[in-house]
Amino acid sequence: MDTFAFIIHPIDPKRDIARKFPWMARIVNDWHIKHFAPLFPPVYLSEISGITSLSTGKEILGWLIACPLTPAHFLELPEKQVYRKIIQTGRLAERLGAKILGLGAYTSVVGDAGITIAQALDIPVTTGDSYTVAIAVQAVREAANAMDIRLQHASAAVVGATGAIGRICAELLAGEVAELHLIGRHLDTLQQLRERLEEAHPGRRLTVSTDMSALRETEVILTVTSAMHSVVEPQHLRPGCVVCDVARPRDVSARVAALRDDVLVIDGGMVDVPGPVDFHFNFGFPPRKAYACMAETMALTLEGRFEDYTLGKQLSRSRVDEIQEIATRHGFRLSGFRSFERPVTAEQIEQIKQNARKRQRHSKTPGRLSYE
């Protein structure tokens, strides 16, 4: 049976440690986690069984393994130390017998986005970013349709537009919307991206900004930064808009869920996995569902493509299209909408639309209400 392994790591340390070691979560505090987690070895979490191709009937076996570093560690520790810990976790995958390794969350973006990790291991590696892009853009299309937003006439924004995922998402959306705002931290790289997109889509309205206020007039937002804390707040959003949050940790503040019942926020990157899959571990998703980056590793295993697939910070449109075709053929599908880890029903979407219409009627300047 062909096999794979996928690395995850704690995003919310206390909560995620409790998923595997409830007793430990009761006795450790933030200081313990900060100082001792880098000393921990990689953790075997579970076996993944039941993944079965709908087209070929092939079944594969996988393992979830954990790198003990938190988002703060990835950003604060020396890069070489972080590489060593991820490589150490990859060695565990090799000992388990995995034929390919997927990198999840911050393990996929640190440094050169998987290239150094792949060079150090004997098995191929993928970040899963190509399928993450495909699913994120598909989710944006379907969410916009649900909110009665016609993309060809809409203003859209990509937050984190110069990152590996954001750049290719911007490339895909630029050809589908009337206006696209590119938002990031560095104006010079944003300008370079705009120039490239202008060549590919002449006449398209493209703007760049380092200021989140550009979101206030935007109907469709895809956000995918590597920030440790939320960057999209209630006051940034226009009534009736759609926000697809692909980032982990989240880009969209929990205050949006509490204060903005007139916007649709969806968690990006969740797919249905084919077959009677059992992860034997609760990583925060409902049964038989997985992150798109994890699904890329699974789809490549079902396809027998044991090669370094998505690596580095320059994703290609051809790889995005290819992995989408592979995943679709084997039975992976965009899952239903979820918002802040809860399912979103058609009735809730209709209520959001009604709330947005009321807010727009009662405001002289739609999208500029105060939510401080």
Write the pLDDT tens digit of every residue in 267-310. 987 899 999 999 999 988 889 999 999 999 999 999 999 999 99
Instruction: Please give the single-letter amino acid code of residue 131.
Output: Y
pLDDT score of 367 more than 60: no
The answer on 319 and 229 residing in a single domain is no
124-140: average pLDDT:
96
Spatial distance between the Cα atoms of 269 and 130, rounded to a whole number of angstroms: 11
Tokens 């929990």 belong to residue: 254
In the DSSP assignment, the letter for residue 129 is: H
The sheet that has 155-159: what strands, in order across it? 205-209, 179-183, 155-159, 220-223, 242-245, 264-267
What is the chain's mean pLDDT, rounded? Answer: 93
pLDDT score of 31 more than 70: yes
Residues with Cβ < 8 Å from 360, sequence gap 6 or more?
239, 240, 366
247 CA to centre of own chain: 5
The answer on 222 and 123 residing in a single domain is no
The answer on 352 and 217 residing in a single domain is yes
Residue 249 preceded by cis peptide, ω within 30: yes
**Within a domain: 370:** no
Domain with 39, as residue range(s), is 3-130+273-334
Spatial distance between the Cα atoms of 74 and 32, rounded to a whole number of angstroms: 16
The answer on 329 and 342 residing in a single domain is no
What's the confidence (pLDDT) of residue 248? 80
Give 40-66 pLDDT, tens digit per residue: 999 999 999 999 999 999 999 999 999
The answer on 184 and 57 residing in a single domain is no
What's the confidence (pLDDT) of residue 32? 85
**Within a domain: 369:** no
The answer on 45 and 21 residing in a single domain is yes
Alpha-carbon torsion (24, 25, 27, 33), positive or negative: positive
Give 61-106 pLDDT, tens digit per residue: 999 999 999 999 999 999 999 999 999 999 999 999 999 999 998 9
pTM of the model: 0.90
13-36: average pLDDT:
82
The answer on 102 and 211 residing in a single domain is no
What's the confidence (pLDDT) of residue 19? 83
**Within a domain: 371:** no
Spatial distance between the Cα atoms of 193 and 209, rounded to a whole number of angstroms: 12
Residues with Cβ < 8 Å from 27, sequence gap 6 or more?
none
DSSP secondary structure letters along 11-57: SSHHHHHHHH-HHHHHH--HHHHHHHGGGSPPEEEEEEEEEE-TTT-
Give 207-244 pLDDT, tens digit per residue: 999 999 989 989 999 999 988 789 999 999 999 999 99
Ranges 171-180, 256-265, 279-288: which has the least confidence: 279-288
**Within a domain: 366:** no
| Token digits of residue 281 | 């571990």
DSSP secondary structure letters along 56-122: T--EEEEEEEE----HHHHHHS-HHHHHHHHHHHHHHHHHHT-SSEEE-GGGGTSTTTTHHHHHHSS
The answer on 149 and 121 residing in a single domain is no
The answer on 173 and 92 residing in a single domain is no
* Buried/exposed code over 282-321 (b: 16+ C-beta within 10 A; e: otherwise): ebebeebbbbbbbbbbbbbbbbeebebbbbebebeeebbe
The answer on 157 and 229 residing in a single domain is yes
Spatial distance between the Cα atoms of 13 and 70, rounded to a whole number of angstroms: 7
Higher pLDDT: 355 or 250? It is: 355
DSSP secondary structure letters along 316-346: -HHHHHHHHHHHHHHT-EEPPPEETTEE--H
**Within a domain: 367:** no
The answer on 343 and 200 residing in a single domain is yes
Instruction: Please give the single-letter amino acid code of residue 180.
Output: L
The answer on 230 and 281 residing in a single domain is no
Give the count of domains, the chain: 2
